[in-house]
Amino acid sequence: ILLPVFLMLGASIAEVGLSKTSQLAQVLHFIGDPIVALLIATIYSFFSLGYAKGFSKDKVLQFTNDCLGPIANILLVIGAGGAFNKVLLDSGIGTTIAEMAKESHISPILLGWGIAALIRIATGSATVSMMTAAGIVAPIAASTPGVNVELLALATGAGSLILSHVNDSGFWMIKEYFGMTVKETLLTWTAMETILSVVALGLISLLNIFA
């Protein structure tokens, strides 16, 4: 379990402490890539938890097949959700929302949360919503005296959590992993994410008043 974590940690350390042109840094970057790190951990588990424990090749293959079966449907659904997400992103809906938000005259903290929330709902991507919102509110915050940058960053992150639904691949992962229906996932996962986002905005607003 910890092997891929250590490999990715090694890549992060190499990025900070080694020259990017050094051979060691390139090796650490390669094996520290998330996909490569997980592949190495999987292969290592075949030997450490399989052959080393006395299991035959056929038995290890059976274990592998038994593990892949339950997650195959999950992977397909997540992939479809990610494809839908990509279509929405390429349609430019995030840029449209961002341009509309620039015309408003509200608090940078509320603006950051609102932009992130709207783009998150429209595209399903928390990463895209945070990056887009940050790019918009950063110059506004710089020109507005008294804005707490730390709280602005928290508000943007909180907005990116809201209303995870069918265009979010994470929504489908939760649905399939826990064996829930779409309605059940909306009533649990989506509701939880929305409550978390709104409560976080409220707490950030309180901190902004007394900061």
Question: Do residues 90 and 45 share a domain?
Answer: no
Residue 209, both tokens: 């008043």
| pLDDT winner (highest mean) among 49-53, 117-121, 194-198 | 194-198
Question: Do residues 103 and 187 share a domain?
Answer: yes
Question: Do residues 128 and 185 share a domain?
Answer: yes
Kindly state whether residue 149 falls inside one of the protein's structural domains. Answer: yes
Dump pLDDT digits (tens) for 16-46: 877 778 888 888 889 988 889 889 988 888 8
Q: Which whole-number Å values give the CA distances from 94 to 110, 155, 185, in the listed order?
A: 18, 18, 25
Kindly state whether residue 43 falls inside one of the protein's structural domains. Answer: yes
Kindly state whether residue 61 falls inside one of the protein's structural domains. Answer: no
Q: According to the model, what pLDDT value does residue 99 have?
A: 66
Greater confidence, 103 or 190? 190
Looking at the structure of the chain, the number of domains it has is 2
Return the percentage of the chain with pLDDT > 70, whole number: 85
Residues 149-179 as b/e (b if ≥16 CB within 10 A, e otherwise) read eebbbbbbbbbbbbbbbebbbbbbbbbbeee
Q: What is the pTM of this model?
A: 0.61
Greater confidence, 74 or 205? 205
Asked whether 51 and 18 are in contact (CB, 8 A), the reply is: no
Kindly state whether residue 98 falls inside one of the protein's structural domains. Answer: yes
Question: Do residues 23 and 91 share a domain?
Answer: no
Question: Do residues 22 and 98 share a domain?
Answer: no
Q: According to the model, what pLDDT value does residue 147 have?
A: 78
Question: Do residues 143 and 191 share a domain?
Answer: yes
Question: Do residues 136 and 203 share a domain?
Answer: yes
Return the percentage of the chain with pLDDT > 90, whole number: 16
| Mean of pLDDT values over 141-146 | 74
Q: According to the model, what pLDDT value does residue 85 have?
A: 59
Kindly state whether residue 197 falls inside one of the protein's structural domains. Answer: yes
Dump pLDDT digits (tens) for 168-187: 878 888 888 888 998 999 99
Residues spanned by the domain of 19? 3-55
| Mean of pLDDT values over 46-56 | 82
